[in-house]
Chains A and B, each alone.
Chain A
Amino acid sequence: MDLALAPETLARWQFGITTVYHFLFVPLTISLAALTAGLQTAWVRTEKEKYLRATKFWGKLFLINIAMGVVTGIVQEFQFGMNWSDYSRFVGDVFGAPLAFEALIAFFFESTFIGLWIFGWDRLPKKIHLACIWMVSIGTLLSAYFILAANSWMQHPVGYRINEEKGRAELTDFWLVLTQNTTLNQVFHSFSAAFLTGGAFMAGIAAFHLMRRKHVPVMRTSLRLGLVTLAVGGLLTAISGDTLGKVMYEQQPMKMAAAEALWDGEEPAPFSVFAYGDVDEGHNKVALEIPGLLSFLAHSDFESYVPGINDTNEALQEKFGPGDYKPIVPVAYWGFRWMIGFGMASLALGVLGLWLTRKKFLLPAAYRTGEDEVPHLVLFRRPLGARLGRLYWLLTVWTMAFPLIANAWGWIFTEMGRQPWVVYGVMQTRDAVSPGASTVEVVTSLSVFTALYAALAVIEVKLLAKYVKAGPPELTESDLNPPTKVGGDPRDADKPMAFSY
């Protein structure tokens, strides 16, 4: 069959599109849940109104976002069965368990408490209502943890044996699946990247308002919180990226060789800044390299040997029999670079922002600002000029998109870099598709999902823009007087609901 219409190709496109799309919302959901919970905690503890207004503002954006995350997640639970039935048959014994844990522990938590939080403003006492958003936050983290454990098993299968008679993988050590170093490193990396994403989102929107000198008290606090989250998240993302990379050099040398377009092993190995290669010939035509750096990234010293694509391919052929074990090298190479580039660019913007908007540290006393003033952007001794200042705010707004791009490429890199394996060293992707699903069926679902997701993206972004522009809401009487009893105050039985669909 024509390769472009081969069931494997179509199923992979569908998985790629639906999963990358789903993952636009996941990191924002994870981080905004926690950040909203933090702001609401500040409100409950200090009773400063700006914190409640911030909670309501970010909470609304969080809800618009999580709605998309939830509904696009439903597809993920079922598409293994639809398009990847042979995969499901072969690995269900191992792979199904973390999914079931995710559903029973995390999804119920998230979905139940989000309902309580949305509708609970006039039904729950302050502190219980606050506990609900923290429950949601815990739910999002647990959910990510279990699904990353499942993915890590595909990257580096452990705790299983092959049952020849039944022709499938069987779980032998669930604890190992949950705690192997691939899982822990992926969790660390994904969580920190999620906070990088949310921090950039918050800082960007705050910058949008501060540039216009609107909603200053709330946005000043938000900017600070966003920038700190962005910087800390970004730093942790870099650290965890480094440790995850070292793990991957051990577990999937091919992926990392492809990430560097390092065709032949070198000692010491250089880090590639730019390369343009001839994939069929197996070498680069143009290469700009930093000597020794790759050895350091792989093994923490500037001397050691790093195997190349060609060497690894031969080693894999020896181990698994004839075949081509190379991923699509340009995708791995550029995916790796877009991931790091966009991620680190946002980190740099965050650190710069923290410096420019510092409160006291090395700041001339004349430029210190009060809580309801737009902070001066002070580089050294004097504030930036109007033009440069505006440029900084604009850059911060644009930075919102950077982590989203980095996240998407990170996943494309790690999943495409594992090819041709679906479970590394155990099962190839071409053996994983549904033999029963027809081309018509897969084409139908691929096009329907793509069209629907595109339409929803437009709707969602417009809605986000509307609520971003509207700014934090004014507080009402009932916002400031939350009920003292669970179920709401029985006295005013006919009072309208604080929130209704």
Chain B
Amino acid sequence: MELHDIWFVLIAVLWTGYFFLEGFDFGVGVLTRLLARDRTEKRVLINTIGPVWDGNEVWLLTAGGATFAAFPEWYATLFSGFYLPLLAILICLIIRGVAFEYRAKRPEESWQRRWETAIFWTSLIPAFLWGVAFGNIVRGVKLDADFEYVGHVWELLNPYALLGGLVTLTLFTFHGAVFTALKTVGEIRQRARTMATRVGLVTAVLAAAFLLWTQADKGDGTSLIALVAAVAALVAALAANRAGREGWSFAFSGVTIVAAVAMLFLTLFPNVMPSTLNEDWSLTVTNASSSPYTLKIMTWLAVIATPVVLLYQGWTYWVFRKRIGTQHIADPVH
């Protein structure tokens, strides 16, 4: 295994970390509208992710920065090619961050409602668009000999990629519902479980369709294993949720995300962005990667820093391990 192969795996790990973590906080954002019955319940939901969403989002920035350093060509092609969808995601993430921080900073209801609307949409849109983006990465796009994307933005909205978007949206919402059940007390916890079952069933159908489509198109033996693991984990998560085993359910919905992302990256390898115009114009781990020297430095960084990050982020979850309910929401002092 050469360094650029290791970095392919590490980039996959970073995206997996991002989807695992921000996945549930996107999901919770979507559920503020689907699950909460009143504004106090909305606040309960928002506060389940309050201390952690910002740290979760850094996984995206790290995936971006690491792709820049380890696969500059991939970084350049991906973000200049998927320009407008990425712009939409960035706009959402900007508004979303401000919405969390500023929502409770004024007592006026109109002010708070506006930010609540923002939280819903800016969670939903990126949750959908990341699936569209990864659908297109796996499927391949029109890249020319200079690795420039030459297709139109509408071509990114093809059926396969759109299905991918629905999968991430529903999967993250399911993941968020399971997380909510794990992190709340009282009536909302019960409703979160019911919601998880409903969303989970829809997710199962969509995810199975998307992953089978992927398998039929690009799959091999190993990707089939990942597919089976993803589907099995989703079923296990649903079963655990029904049985009231919330911790297990969350673990399994996490495994679903891990396995699904793993499957996408397995079908991608050794490409990082296939060209549909000419196979020779595909970006691969070899022609997109940095020099061995840079990759070596980056590997040292990853080996030393990542476990430390996992340690203190994990500690954060432990510090805020208490479940919260409507009784824990005080009117903030203005």
State the A residues within 8 Å of B (CB): 63-64, 67-68, 70-75, 77-78, 80-83, 85-86, 88-89, 91-97, 99-105, 107-108, 111-116, 118-120, 123-124, 163, 168, 170-172, 174, 434-437, 441, 444-445, 448, 452, 456, 459, 463, 466-467, 470, 473, 486-488, 493-497, 499-501
Out of A95, A470, A497, which one reaches B330, CB within 8 Å?
A: A497
A86 to B62, CA, bound (A): 21
The interface bits of chain B over 149-167 (1 if a CB of A lies within 8 angstroms of the residue's CB, else 0) are 1100100000000000000
Cβ B68 vs Cβ A81 within 8 A:
yes
Out of A115, A116, A496, which one reaches B327, CB within 8 Å?
A: A496
Out of B50, B149, B334, which one reaches A501, CB within 8 Å?
A: B50
Number of A-B contacts (CB under 8 A): 257
State the B residues within 8 Å of A (CB): 43, 46-47, 50-55, 57-58, 60-62, 64-73, 75-81, 83-84, 86-87, 90-91, 93-98, 100-106, 146-150, 153, 290-291, 293-294, 297-298, 301-302, 305-306, 309, 312-313, 316, 318-322, 324, 327-330, 332-334
A17 to B318, CA, bound (A): 40
Residues of B within 8 A of A444 (CB): 84, 87
Out of B75, B297, B306, which one reaches A97, CB within 8 Å?
A: B297
Least CB separation from A474: chain B residue: B333
**Extra inter-chain contacts (19) besides given A94-B294, A119-B51, CB under 8 Å:** A64-B101, A72-B94, A80-B68, A85-B76, A92-B69, A96-B69, A96-B72, A107-B58, A107-B61, A111-B54, A112-B309, A120-B319, A435-B146, A436-B80, A487-B321, A497-B324, A499-B332, A500-B332, A501-B46
Give 20 A-B contacts (CB < 8 Å), ordered by A residue.
Answer: A74-B61, A89-B147, A92-B75, A92-B290, A93-B294, A96-B65, A97-B297, A100-B65, A100-B68, A103-B66, A107-B61, A107-B62, A115-B316, A170-B291, A444-B87, A494-B328, A495-B328, A496-B329, A496-B330, A501-B104
Cβ A85 vs Cβ B94 within 8 A:
no
A99 to B58, CA, bound (A): 13
A168 to B287, CA, bound (A): 12
Least CB separation from B62: chain A residue: A103
Cβ A445 vs Cβ B72 within 8 A:
no
State how many angstroms separate the Cβ of A447 from the closest Cβ of chain B. 11
Residues of B within 8 A of A434 (CB): 76, 80
Cβ B55 vs Cβ A89 within 8 A:
no
A163 to B72, CA, bound (A): 14
Cβ A100 vs Cβ B62 within 8 A:
yes
Residues of A within 8 A of B329 (CB): 496-497, 500
- Give the one of B80, B87, B333 with max A CB within 10 A: B80
**Interface majority SS on B: helix, strand, loop or mixed?**
helix
Cβ A81 vs Cβ B78 within 8 A:
yes
A172 to B291, CA, bound (A): 9
A494 to B185, CA, bound (A): 11
A501 to B327, CA, bound (A): 14
A466 to B333, CA, bound (A): 13
Are A108 and B62 also in contact (CB < 8 A) when A116-B51, A120-B319 are?
yes
A116 to B317, CA, bound (A): 10
Least CB separation from A434: chain B residue: B80
- Give the one of B50, B61, B78, B90 with max A CB within 10 A: B61
A441 to B156, CA, bound (A): 15
Cβ B106 vs Cβ A74 within 8 A:
no
State how many angstroms separate the Cβ of A379 from the closest Cβ of chain B. 40
Cβ B316 vs Cβ A89 within 8 A:
no
Out of B55, B84, B330, which one reaches A115, CB within 8 Å?
A: B55
Q: Which 6 A-B pairs have the closest CB atoms?
A: A92-B72, A81-B79, A96-B69, A496-B330, A96-B68, A67-B101
Residues of B within 8 A of A124 (CB): 319
Least CB separation from A63: chain B residue: B101
Out of A81, A94, A172, which one reaches B76, CB within 8 Å?
A: A81
Cβ A95 vs Cβ B68 within 8 A:
yes
State how many angstroms separate the Cβ of B159 from the closest Cβ of chain A. 24
Cβ A88 vs Cβ B72 within 8 A:
yes
A107 to B316, CA, bound (A): 15
Cβ B148 vs Cβ A436 within 8 A:
yes
A19 to B71, CA, bound (A): 24
Residues of A within 8 A of B83 (CB): 82, 436-437, 441, 445
State how many angstroms separate the Cβ of A479 from the closest Cβ of chain B. 11
A500 to B327, CA, bound (A): 12
Least CB separation from A436: chain B residue: B148
A70 to B93, CA, bound (A): 10
Out of B95, B305, B312, B319, which one reaches A487, CB within 8 Å?
A: B319
State how many angstroms separate the Cβ of A292 from the closest Cβ of chain B. 46
Are A435 and B148 also in contact (CB < 8 A) when A104-B306, A487-B322 are?
yes
A89 to B309, CA, bound (A): 29
Are A71 and B94 also in contact (CB < 8 A) when A101-B301, A104-B66 are?
yes
Cβ A174 vs Cβ B80 within 8 A:
no
Cβ B86 vs Cβ A78 within 8 A:
yes
Cβ B328 vs Cβ A75 within 8 A:
no
State how many angstroms separate the Cβ of B124 from the closest Cβ of chain A. 18
State how many angstroms separate the Cβ of A84 from the closest Cβ of chain B. 8
Cβ B319 vs Cβ A486 within 8 A:
yes
Are A67 and B76 also in contact (CB < 8 A) when A96-B69, A435-B148, A500-B43 are?
no
Cβ B55 vs Cβ A463 within 8 A:
no
State how many angstroms separate the Cβ of A23 from the closest Cβ of chain B. 16
State how many angstroms separate the Cβ of B208 from the closest Cβ of chain A. 32
Least CB separation from B75: chain A residue: A81
State how many angstroms separate the Cβ of A74 from the closest Cβ of chain B. 5
Least CB separation from B329: chain A residue: A500
State how many angstroms separate the Cβ of B67 from the closest Cβ of chain A. 8
Residues of B within 8 A of A88 (CB): 68, 72, 75-76
Residues of A within 8 A of B46 (CB): 501
Residues of A within 8 A of B73 (CB): 89, 92
Residues of A within 8 A of B290 (CB): 92-93, 96, 170-171
Residues of B within 8 A of A445 (CB): 83, 87
Are A170 and B332 also in contact (CB < 8 A) when A71-B97, A115-B316 are?
no
Cβ A441 vs Cβ B84 within 8 A:
yes
A434 to B78, CA, bound (A): 12
Residues of A within 8 A of B60 (CB): 74
Residues of B within 8 A of A103 (CB): 58, 61-62, 64-66
Out of A75, A85, A91, A467, which one reaches B77, CB within 8 Å?
A: A85
State how many angstroms separate the Cβ of A212 from the closest Cβ of chain B. 20
State how many angstroms separate the Cβ of A198 from the closest Cβ of chain B. 19
A115 to B48, CA, bound (A): 12
Out of A74, A89, A91, A123, which one reaches B90, CB within 8 Å?
A: A74
A78 to B76, CA, bound (A): 9
Residues of A within 8 A of B50 (CB): 115, 118-119, 500-501
Least CB separation from B93: chain A residue: A74
Cβ B90 vs Cβ A78 within 8 A:
yes
Least CB separation from B146: chain A residue: A435
Residues of B within 8 A of A452 (CB): 91, 94-95
